[in-house]
Amino acid sequence: MSTKDSYFPNLHSITIAVDAMGGDFGPEVAIPGINLLHEENRDIRFLLFGDESRINPYLSKFPSLMKVTHIVHTDKMVRMDEKPSAALRASKGTSMRMAIEAVESGQAHAAVSAGNTGALMAMAKVVLRMLPGIHRPALCSVFPSLESSTVMLDLGANVLVDAETLAQFAVLGAVFAKAYKNIPMPTVGLLNVGSEEMKGPDHVRAAAEILSKVEIPGLYKGFVEGDDITKGTVDVVVCDGYAGNIALKTGEGVGRMTGLYFKRIITADPLAIMGGLLASFALKKFKHKVDPRRYNGAVFVGLNGICVKSHGGTDAMGFSSALRMAAQLARHGYTKKVADEINRLMSQESLLSHGTFEE
Amino acid sequence: MSTKDSYFPNLHSITIAVDAMGGDFGPEVAIPGINLLHEENRDIRFLLFGDESRINPYLSKFPSLMKVTHIVHTDKMVRMDEKPSAALRASKGTSMRMAIEAVESGQAHAAVSAGNTGALMAMAKVVLRMLPGIHRPALCSVFPSLESSTVMLDLGANVLVDAETLAQFAVLGAVFAKAYKNIPMPTVGLLNVGSEEMKGPDHVRAAAEILSKVEIPGLYKGFVEGDDITKGTVDVVVCDGYAGNIALKTGEGVGRMTGLYFKRIITADPLAIMGGLLASFALKKFKHKVDPRRYNGAVFVGLNGICVKSHGGTDAMGFSSALRMAAQLARHGYTKKVADEINRLMSQESLLSHGTFEE
């Protein structure tokens, strides 16, 4: 059966294409993760791409899930350590590529993979193609903030980019905040260093100059600093993938260390252990609130279609968060909204011109 | 009385020169901060630079401190919002410059200021001068890690730098770890993005290439990611000031948010409040452990002398941490150790050549 057939002829509900072989654990994590979302929402359908013999042992444990799931068998998969360029050349028929192709052909509304990030981005670019005028895709996700959450991009799809590309990320981030978080006029800040003197690297300052002149589907608020991400100073924080990836990972590290310190200090004190028992309900709530798995999943923005990357080492709960993000974006008609906004902005030549950074 | 005289002729103990007017609060925070360190160590002497009429009301509250303190009066001070270049031109006779000059003339072992970072760096470069062959100073400090702490630089003295400068930071960071943390052979990692594909920006990859070839006063371990800072994977994490500043501030933000979440969730639940009372001793210990004020203070490395920058908005406890760092570096003979190591490395032309990035 080829992926060009329609497995679920009635597409009233959302269909998510899943690369079941991606990530450090493949179907072992993907299938229980899919089932978590299925338990929340029985209408969502799943197209699984991968090795049937490896998927079935896990899938058979969830009879209800089986009813909304279709497996498209393939032996081929992308290895986690493969070079993206090599993976792309040999990508035909891999579970990753087939999942993305299902979005392109209209059989699925979104694709999700926990596989090799570079390969996923390369394939998504080739299969789904860039939106007109957009130079590069960016990895976009949400961060917890004090009162809500902050949209942030780029989290590492690129490293250092030019000013124009950075300004485009501001547009893509604003559209994401509109579609995903339903904010009519999102505020946007450019991540920079906070020292009095240094207003940052050239590309950041030049992007600020562009953003102060052009119209974006949001409100440009100027520079923000690292701690503004969690303060929630703006709805969208824009940066290059170098700063974004380092900020993301550093923040995760601090969160993890704080939790471990806490556990260690509390469990070393008998009175505190008793106190912890009394507070167990609140502590559970707290643990849930800061659980990084709830924020797993980042979408490649700037493409004609939804492609979500899950952390490769996450567990079923984490994988379900990435699936939920895909489903939510699909339900909000994200792809069309982005395309409409980009079309509307196409007249702004300075921001959406072709090619200067195209690969 | 000119700063060229020796106020404390017997220099057996450490003397710290303090810009008493720096930061958001000037002497209001500086003097109680100095007194906190004084209560720990009565041998340390302080040379205060600033407006006597503003310093005395605070200093007179601490009779014991007065005995080890000498005020050098000046009306002139550097404003927090002043442009560093302008501040440098008009710096003669300012409390900030006089504090640094006291180090240069040998009257003090280290200078501490909570003032304008850019101005402080500019003056420190002019007055103390760079170590031979070193291109630029970097801001270096310690971060809490799970089992100990991680030395990190640059935290924002520069933004993006070239590969050679980044490799020099590795040398300066290793020497700092030796002198400040007494690690005989510190391990050093280069901060980079963690994605499979992108091994990071050109300057980071080129620095890695240099570091894999030259001898440094430590053990170069290759790339590390943002969460390795708190994991303590290496003793020293090296990065440019753009990534370093963003990582530092993001980490601080996550720490603050986690604390506020915790407080909010605990205080909303009566049982948890009771539990908190039982655990109050452990909670206090936890709070102390993660208190960012304990990690306040960063030193400009690469100079002929110790100049410590305190956060401008910190309180007395935070300021005392910066002073403690200055005292500790002075006691360990940091300046001489760095100079010796740099001299030893001078033969490595590729790493310590003159001028390519000099201002």
Look at B200 and A249 and tell me if their CB atoms are within 8 Å. no
Look at A241 and B198 and tell me if their CB atoms are within 8 Å. yes
Alpha-carbon distance B64 to nearest alpha carbon in chain A (angstroms): 36
Look at B226 and A239 and tell me if their CB atoms are within 8 Å. no
Give the count of beta carbons closer than 10 Å to the beta carbon of residue A81.
8
> Average pLDDT of B135-162?
93
pLDDT digits (tens, 9 = 90+) for A198-222: 579 999 999 999 999 888 889 999 9
Alpha-carbon distance B98 to nearest alpha carbon in chain A (angstroms): 21
What is the three-class DSSP state of A287?
helix
Cβ-based contacts of A24 with chain B (< 8 Å): none
Look at B242 and A245 and tell me if their CB atoms are within 8 Å. no
Cβ-based contacts of A265 with chain B (< 8 Å): 282, 285-286, 289
pLDDT digits (tens, 9 = 90+) for A209-264: 999 988 888 999 999 999 999 999 999 999 999 999 999 999 999 998 988 888 88
Cβ-based contacts of B24 with chain A (< 8 Å): none
Q: Which of the residues B147, B231, B254, B289 would you substitute to probe the A interface, choosing the one with the greatest number of A C-beta atoms within 10 Å?
A: B254
pLDDT mean across residues, chain A: 89
Q: Which of the residues A250, A269, A281, A290 would you substitute to probe the B interface, choosing the one with the greatest number of B C-beta atoms within 10 Å?
A: A250
Alpha-carbon distance B341 to nearest alpha carbon in chain A (angstroms): 30
Cβ-based contacts of B144 with chain A (< 8 Å): 257
Q: Which of the residues A199, A205, A230, A295 would you substitute to probe the B interface, choosing the one with the greatest number of B C-beta atoms within 10 Å?
A: A230
Look at B156 and A193 and tell me if their CB atoms are within 8 Å. yes
> Average pLDDT of A128-144?
93
Look at B197 and A119 and tell me if their CB atoms are within 8 Å. yes
pLDDT digits (tens, 9 = 90+) for B249-305: 999 999 989 888 888 888 888 888 888 888 888 888 888 888 888 889 999 999 999
Q: Which among B80, B242, B251 is the nearest to A254, CB-wise?
A: B251
pLDDT mean across residues, chain B: 89
In 3D, which of A175, A154, A83, A200 has the Cα closest to residue A357? Answer: A154
Which of the two residues, B42 and B5, has the higher pLDDT score? B42
